[in-house]
Structures are given as structure tokens and as C-alpha cells.
């Protein structure tokens, strides 16, 4: 029952909480002898169902849900039990232990051994595992392959890396008029990007973060003055590419 006791029809109530099936069988045999119900009892105990608190797995896994934890398992074991990661999964996995909910642990899961840490973390009953969604950046305008790029194994990308993923700039690109559109807590910011100087290694390569939009206009005068309201329609139809 909920107190860990077993009610024997003749031998009375017997505590068996924390025992293995073999230990419980031996204790039942001892009770039947003590109460003189049987002289030589032989008892077999079989666990038909394990009542244990499961592990909750949410986020970017193929089969999120609550999974029973039988025996010792690490983080990678539990992710595998949930069907593995989805194509949109990020590199960060947050583990919150039931015994210490105020101090979650952030593990890294990647395709390279040097980008992976914490996958051997022991998982305990009642723990919660959340797999993050990959960050996304947009590169639009006068580039070879405009679109959205998932940052699956990187927390951020640089401007040069984003341009490389977009297969470079076109011949008509206005490199001096590129802009970075970044969402802040209050509003969107439009920041100038010295793309020509960055490509020439005469300016620092700026970092791009989740949700950033890198816009490279064409050299026509009208195109260089395009604002965010003209860029947004292009984002809605942007193809999404996975970052290798």
C-alpha cells in the first residue's frame, strides 16, 4: 500500500518498503513461520508494476513525455529513450533535479566530442529535462542563398559565417549599406554593418544572436533605404536551412 506494507491474509501486516523481491519473499516466509501458519513456507514475489516517479522530458525531442526511471541512467540515456533530438534542437539541455530545483544544470549536446559536456550526468527520479530550440538568424537581400539558418551547434554566429552560409554576396550588393536588425526588450534596432570592411578584415567581425536579421541591400539607391517594414515580408517566406 502507500505506506509500503503488505497485508497477508493470515500473517497480518508486513512492512516491505525498500526491499528487493527476494528480500520480501524471505521476510514473508519468516512471518508465516513465526505465526505458525506454515512449517516450511516457500514464497515467490514478482513485481508486476513498478510505482516510481518518472523523469519528465520536454522540448526538442521526438517523443516528449514522462518516462519511468528503472535503474541508473544518465542524460544521454534519457534523451535516447525519448526518441532522440529533433532537427530543430539546440545544443543546450537543461536538467532540473527534484531535490534542488533552484539550481538547474545546463549541459551541452553536440555532434562533435569537443562540443559535448554533461551527457554523463546522473538522472534521478522526479528530474526534469528540457532540450532547447535552436537559435535562428536570417540573411536576406543581395546574397546567393537568402533564408533562415538554424544555429544547432552554436550559441551564435558571426557576420562572416552568416554570409558564408548564405553563399556570399551578389555582384550588386551594396556592402557599405548592410544593416543588422536586432530585437531588444523594448523595440527593434537597426544597426549599420560595415560589411565591406569586415570582409576586408579592416573591422571586427560582429556576432549575431538568435533572432537577428542581416540585410544586404542592392546597390540601387532605393534599395539601400529599405526599412524593416519592407524586409519582413521576405522573412515570412524564407527557407530554413540547417547549419552544418
pLDDT digits (tens, 9 = 90+) for 31-53: 999 988 889 999 999 877 666 67
Q: What's the pLDDT at 23?
A: 92
User: At residue 242, does pLDDT exceed 70?
Assistant: no
User: At residue 172, does pLDDT exceed 70?
Assistant: yes
* Between 16 and 222, residue with greater pLDDT: 16
Exposed, middle or buried by CB within 10 Å (0-12, 13-18, 19+), for 71? exposed
- Report whether 201 contacts 127 (CB < 8 A): no
Residue 55, strand partner residues: 67
Averaged pLDDT of the chain = 83
- 44-92 pLDDT, tens per residue? 998 776 666 789 999 999 999 999 887 778 899 999 999 998 888 888 8
Q: Which three cell numbers stand for residue 30?
A: 519468516
Q: What's the pLDDT at 9?
A: 84
pLDDT tier for residue 148 given thresholds of 50, 70 and 90 = confident
Q: What's the pLDDT at 218?
A: 84
Q: What's the pLDDT at 83?
A: 93
Q: Give the pLDDT mean for 158-183.
A: 89
d(CA 107, CA 112): 14
User: At residue 154, does pLDDT exceed 70?
Assistant: no
- Report whether 57 contacts 112 (CB < 8 A): no
User: At residue 190, does pLDDT exceed 60?
Assistant: yes
pLDDT tier for residue 10 given thresholds of 50, 70 and 90 = confident
* Between 117 and 6, residue with greater pLDDT: 6
- 106-134 pLDDT, tens per residue? 888 865 555 556 678 888 888 999 998 88
Q: What's the pLDDT at 91?
A: 83
Please give, one letter per residue, the 3-state secondary structure of 50-91. Answer: CCCCCEEEEECECCCEEECCCCCEEHHHHHHHCCCECCCEEE
Q: What's the pLDDT at 227?
A: 55
Amino acid at each position: 500500500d502507500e505506506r509500503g506494507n503488505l497485508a497477508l491474509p493470515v500473517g497480518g501486516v508486513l512492512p516491505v518498503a525498500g526491499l528487493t523481491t527476494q528480500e520480501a519473499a524471505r521476510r514473508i516466509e519468516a512471518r508465516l513461520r513465526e505465526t505458525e501458519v506454515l512449517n516450511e513456507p516457500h514464497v515467490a514475489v514478482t513485481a508486476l508494476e513498478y510505482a516510481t516517479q518518472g523523469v519528465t522530458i520536454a522540448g526538442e525531442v521526438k517523443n516528449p513525455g514522462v518516462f519511468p526511471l528503472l535503474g541508473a541512467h544518465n542524460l544521454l540515456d534519457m534523451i535516447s529513450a525519448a526518441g532522440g533530438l529533433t532537427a530543430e534542437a539546440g545544443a543546450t539541455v537543461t536538467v532540473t533535479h527534484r531535490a534542488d530545483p533552484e539550481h538547474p544544470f545546463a549541459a551541452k549536446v553536440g555532434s562533435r566530442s569537443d562540443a559535448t559536456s554533461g551527457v554523463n550526468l546522473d538522472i534521478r527520479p522526479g528530474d526534469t529535462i528540457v532540450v532547447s530550440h535552436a537559435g535562428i538568424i536570417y540573411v536576406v537581400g543581395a546574397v546567393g542563398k537568402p533564408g533562415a539558418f538554424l544555429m544547432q551547434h552554436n550559441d551564435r554566429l558571426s557576420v562572416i559565417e552568416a554570409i558564408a552560409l548564405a553563399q556570399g554576396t551578389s555582384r550588386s550588393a551594396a556592402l557599405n549599406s548592410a544593416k543588422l536588425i536586432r530585437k531588444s526588450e523594448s523595440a527593434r534596432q537597426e544597426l549599420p554593418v560595415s560589411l565591406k570592411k569586415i570582409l576586408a578584415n579592416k573591422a571586427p567581425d560582429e556576432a549575431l544572436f538568435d533572432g537577428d536579421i542581416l540585410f544586404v541591400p542592392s546597390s540601387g539607391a532605393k534599395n539601400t533605404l529599405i526599412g524593416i517594414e519592407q524586409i519582413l515580408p521576405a522573412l515570412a517566406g524564407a527557407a530554413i536551412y540547417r547549419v552544418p
